[in-house]
Amino acid sequence: MLYMVIERFKTPGALEVYRRARDEGRLMPDGLEYVSSWVDLGFTTCFQLMKTENEVLFETWASRWQDLVEFEIIPVQTSAEAMEVIASRL
């Protein structure tokens, strides 16, 4: 299953987030997969596409970043998957 993770950087901000990522990695438990990400131009928010079959793994991962990041985790589907689901209703 795919998830859009919206990370809002807390004070002191992106610098500390990127420093930890550089020094310690993404700190993801096995079974949680990073797909891709985008960061706003002001370095306040990161949008990550992630994949897992076990949503509980987000709790472990988020706890490792909670001092620097506020998380919103949203289950999503691809546009192709959405079209397939909704096609019969069109």
Q: Tell me what pLDDT residue 8 has.
A: 98
Read off the pTM.
0.91
User: Which residue, chain included where needed, has tokens 């991962």?
Assistant: 61
**Which residues in the chain land under pLDDT 70?**
none
Largest CA distance in the chain: 50
Q: Tell me what pLDDT residue 47 has.
A: 98
Domain boundaries 2-89, CATH class: alpha beta
Residue ranges of domains in the chain: 2-89
Q: Tell me what pLDDT residue 25 has.
A: 97
Q: Tell me what pLDDT residue 55 has.
A: 97
In the DSSP assignment, the letter for residue 89 is G
